[in-house]
Structure 1
Amino acid sequence: MVTEPQLDRTVDSETLWLPCELTGPGWKARGDRIPADKRVPFNRPTAKQILDALPFVTRYFFYWVKHTFDKEKLFINTFQPLKHKPFYGVPCGGIGCGAMGRDFRGGFCKFSLRPGLVEHKVDIIPANHFILSVRCDGRCIYQKVLSCADMALSGQQLSAWDFSFPKKDLYYRTVF
């Protein structure tokens, strides 16, 4: 039999420790944060920048044509820039060993597990999440997906998973 822990009901909820109240380096965001800025890959170049870049653009164009017709995926494809969303957080991983990119709401959206290639997904992949499971006597008594990212679930897709994590209760903090 599982008993509920006894809580001290006299403690004011405002005085409880919250991860977003820590001081020091890092970037913090709550799950219900709405980013104010719209991310774009670059600004329009000036005429001088275009002129200076012509030799590179010419070489790159021939390189792009060769690899496109050979059906090879390019490491950086200047003619098809990646879409950016303002939700991206710091990746989980290290330099040279691959990484999985997460957004600050808990969803996974970028993968660079193969050296030199980034599998960039603009939308959150529903099946890629951390799940908290509490078991007692071999039985699952509580389970919740640790993400509040908006995603489209179709039909019975992952219907056994609980995606109802409250956005206001998710705190993201990264130290980089």
Structure 2
Amino acid sequence: MEATGEQFDSDKPPIIGLKLKLNHEFPLLSKQIIKPKPSQIFELMPLSARYLKYYIGRKMNKKRPIMDFVNLISAQRMYGCPIGGIGGGTIGRGFKGEFCRFQLIPGIYEYITVPECQFIVNIQNEKNETIFQSVLSTYDKPKKSPVAWEWNVNPEDCEYTALYPRAWTTYDFSLYGVKLTCRQISPVIPHNYKDSSLPCAVFIFTAENLSKEHRNVSITFTWTEIRTGSNKKKVSDKLDLERYSEEHTSGVNLEQIIENTPCTFTIAKKKHENETIHDSYCLWNASKTSAYVWDCLKKHGKLSPDPSLTPPSTEIA
């Protein structure tokens, strides 16, 4: 793993903040039910009439209402520090490691957990043999998740800390000779509202070798399109993939349409010297070739292009 060049111990979570074990379960369940008091009904009638006019108008134009008080969604006690949130939207993460709430259109929230959007860790010994591989989430494995992928992290050995705009997750893999720390940082920049409002983040992983032997640790980040609307169907015909390479970074852009609005997701990484835009990523299809991603990492500890796929595909890793 590379040193980040920072002169302070930013890997260590702060003393204050939201601190939870990754097996934490909140004792209370909350439901978003609005029941006005009898004395308030008369006062709310003018407001209710204006809202119904707005709601029916949006429905007649086949648009989703920004404030939907007819189909309320109960808040779940699963969320952690969001990505973004200053003004240009958010991508929500659960404290157990899943990507689970998307607000990419102002006022419109998608409460969905996308199992294909994950971090995957691979640990190899000095013989380049994989001794541990897992999705870095302790959220219950969704039924529609890639079949070959494994959720092997012990939640009792992991801790989450959130102090917006940062979050830390520590993974104790001492059984395999490694302690792993993930730092999530959203760009809240003083006097720069434009960039600070973007729903983006930097993830920095630091691995500490606890054994007396050499360890190779690799992190893979996978992403797919976000299925929106009531049917949550795939929108493959609206997707476009584009590789890019700049002076210090390289990555892949995934373009899709969300609520008739163009949206671009980007995975970027630090570019090493003489690295090309074809290195360190591959295209895959979650319904057909997700096993290739898993098996490729388990065998080699890194990705290589899937020979069975040609662009465009619907997922990037």
- Residues 45-75 of structure 1 show CA distances to partners (whole Å, capped at 9, x for unaligned) of 2122222211111110111111112110111
Q: CA RMSD, aligned part only?
A: 2.6
2:33 matches 1:33: no
* Alignment check: 8 A CA contact 1:105 1:170 kept: no
Moved more, 125-134 or 98-107: 125-134
Q: 1:130 is aligned with what amino acid? A: F
Structure 1's 42 and 90: CA in aligned 2 closer, same or farther, altered over 3 A?
Answer: farther
2:91 matches 1:100: yes
Q: What is the alpha-carbon distance in structure 1 between the residues aligned to residue 66 and residue 115 of structure 2?
A: 26
Structure 1's 128 and 140: CA in aligned 2 closer, same or farther, altered over 3 A?
Answer: farther
Structure 1's 140 and 69: CA in aligned 2 closer, same or farther, altered over 3 A?
Answer: farther
Match runs of 1:153-168 below 5 Å: 153-154=143-144, 157-168=145-156
Q: What is the alpha-carbon distance in structure 1 between the residues aligned to residue 78 and residue 67 of structure 2?
A: 22
Q: With structure 1 as the length reference, what TM-score do the two structures score?
A: 0.73
Q: What is the aligned partner in structure 1 of residue 120 from structure 2?
A: 131
Q: Offset at 1:30?
A: 0.7
Q: 2:134 is aligned with what amino acid? A: K
Percent same amino acid at aligned positions?
Answer: 28
Q: With structure 2 as the length reference, what TM-score do the two structures score?
A: 0.43
- Residues 98-140 of structure 1 show CA distances to partners (whole Å, capped at 9, x for unaligned) of 211112211121011233322222xx3211222224579xx78
Match runs of 1:45-124 below 5 Å: 45-121=36-112, 124=113
Q: RCO (CA 8 Å, sep 6+): is it higher in 1 or 2?
A: 1
Q: What is the alpha-carbon distance in structure 2 between the residues aligned to residue 74 and residue 38 of structure 1?
A: 26
* Alignment check: 8 A CA contact 2:33 2:72 kept: no
Q: What is the alpha-carbon distance in structure 1 between the residues aligned to residue 42 and residue 62 of structure 2?
A: 30
Q: What is the alpha-carbon distance in structure 2 between the residues aligned to residue 140 and residue 129 of structure 1?
A: 23
- Residues 73-96 of structure 1 show CA distances to partners (whole Å, capped at 9, x for unaligned) of 111101111132222223122312
Q: Offset at 1:163?
A: 1.1
Q: Which of the residues 170, 173, 176 maps onto 2:158? A: 170
* Alignment check: 8 A CA contact 1:126 1:153 kept: no
Higher strand share: 2
* Alignment check: 8 A CA contact 1:89 1:104 kept: yes
* Alignment check: 8 A CA contact 1:148 1:170 kept: no
Q: What is the alpha-carbon distance in structure 1 between the residues aligned to residue 79 and residue 40 of structure 2?
A: 29
* Alignment check: 8 A CA contact 2:93 2:100 kept: yes
Q: What is the aligned partner in structure 2 of residue 149 from structure 1?
A: 139
Q: How many corresponding residue pairs?
A: 151
Any runs of at least 4 consecutive aligned residues in structure 1 with deviations exceeding 4 A, and if so which?
none
Moved more, 72-81 or 139-148: 139-148
Unaligned runs of 5+ in 2: 1-11, 165-317
